């Protein structure tokens, strides 16, 4: 072991990822999502080479989950959600997967949501971008989006500095999208991993980074992590 490796091994991890680590984390997250969330659309990797000067890693791009709609947990909406899924799947096994997974479904007559997980070169952390639109393609103003968000979202955003929502240009699409600001992400990621000193220790942090991150950030927009994915964090 040379001196640089020795110093790196004892340097406390700052909660961030390199662009290549983000790609590895994204692949791991996408695979886990498909494994434990088989009856909802997958997160797909969208390659992009736009930011040549910001990253030397050949696999530049972002994760995408599109065409979803948020369903609140009221009795009426739970009934509608169950009926929607029954029409698209065989009953018992898939119902259980939906209940344990995420409050989303594919819909025709409601507000649609697209979600992207994008790497921020300046903060060196993932950022959740999202947009919403009617079935005719017209974008929703934020006032309407707030009505779709879970009831606890406003409370979380008012109490936590890292969950405020801003509207900015999507770094790859060059169109206005909403995003959850990443200013405090590295700090609470350090807390989630208990200040592990070695980021690449057995690859654990990289493999589980986005699962841990999304278990927190997804709550703000009503997306839940499947229980099976969370259980992998203790393995």
β-strand pairing of 112-120 with 61-70: antiparallel
Round to whole Å and give the CA distance between 228 and 152: 23
Residue 122 token pair: 């300046």
SS3 content of the chain, % helix, strand, coil (to 5): 45, 20, 35
Contact partners, residue 184, CB within 8 Å, separation at least 6: 160, 161, 162
Residue 16 token pair: 């961030």
Q: From the CB of residue 211, how many other CB atoms can be counted at a distance below 10 Å?
A: 20
Tokens 């680590």, residue?
21
Is 101:39 a contact under the CB 8 Å cutoff?
Answer: yes
Q: Of the residues 80, 105, 107, 183, which is catalytic?
A: 183
Active site residue 183: yes
Kindly list the catalytic residues.
Answer: 183
């Amino acid at each position: 072991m040379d001196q640089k490796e020795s110093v790196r091994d004892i340097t406390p991890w700052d909660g961030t990822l390199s662009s290549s680590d983000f790609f590895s984390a994204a692949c791991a997250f996408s695979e886990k999502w498909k494994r434990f969330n088989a009856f909802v659309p997958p997160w797909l990797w969208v390659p992009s080479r736009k930011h040549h000067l910001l990253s030397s890693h050949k696999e530049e791009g972002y994760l995408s989950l599109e065409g979803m709609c948020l369903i609140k947990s009221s009795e009426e909406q739970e009934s509608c959600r169950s009926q929607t899924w029954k029409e698209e799947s065989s009953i018992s096994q898939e119902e259980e997967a939906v209940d344990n997974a995420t409050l989303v479904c594919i819909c025709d007559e409601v507000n649609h949501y697209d979600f992207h997980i994008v790497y921020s070169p300046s903060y060196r952390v993932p950022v959740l971008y999202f947009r919403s639109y009617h079935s005719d393609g017209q974008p929703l103003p934020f006032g309407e989006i707030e009505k779709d968000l879970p009831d606890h979202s406003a409370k979380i955003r008012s109490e936590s500095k890292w969950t405020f929502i801003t509207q900015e240009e999507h770094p790859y699409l060059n169109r206005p999208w909403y995003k959850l600001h990443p200013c405090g992400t590295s700090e609470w990621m350090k807390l989630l991993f208990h200040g592990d000193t070695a980021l690449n220790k057995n690859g654990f942090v990289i493999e589980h980074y986005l699962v841990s991150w999304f278990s927190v950030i997804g709550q703000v927009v009503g997306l839940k992590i499947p229980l099976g994915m969370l259980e992998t964090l203790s393995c």
